[in-house]
Amino acid sequence: MTILLKTQILRIFYANHLNKSESFLLHQMLSQNIKKVSKLFSNAEKMRKIDDLINQIESISNELNLQEQRTNNPIPCYS
């Protein structure tokens, strides 16, 4: 991805000196790429939230299993 970005930056630099229409297209491509990166970060945040929920589900499941084991195998009381 860095090679692509460097290539785009060089093309923008040379387009500014040679051809203004190509410069506009490159700025548009850059804007689109920024939007894509933003969307990827948004998706990453959603994935983090999903992971958090999965961890909570696993914790609750483990706690329920422990409670069930305690119910099925009560600790004997000696009086």
| Residue 26 resides in a domain | yes
| Residue 77 resides in a domain | no
| Residue 22 resides in a domain | yes
Structural domain harbouring 11: 2-65
Are 47 and 53 within 8 A, CB to CB? no
Per-residue pLDDT of the chain (79 residues; tens, 9 = 90+): 566 666 666 666 666 655 556 666 777 788 888 888 888 888 888 999 999 999 999 999 999 999 888 888 877 777 6
* Number of domains observed in the structure of the chain: 1
Does the model's pTM come out above 0.85? no
pLDDT at 29: 80
Spatial CA neighbour of 56 closest among 48, 11, 35:
48
Query: Tokens 């060089």 belong to which residue?
Result: 10
pLDDT at 79: 61
pLDDT at 63: 92
| Residue 79 resides in a domain | no
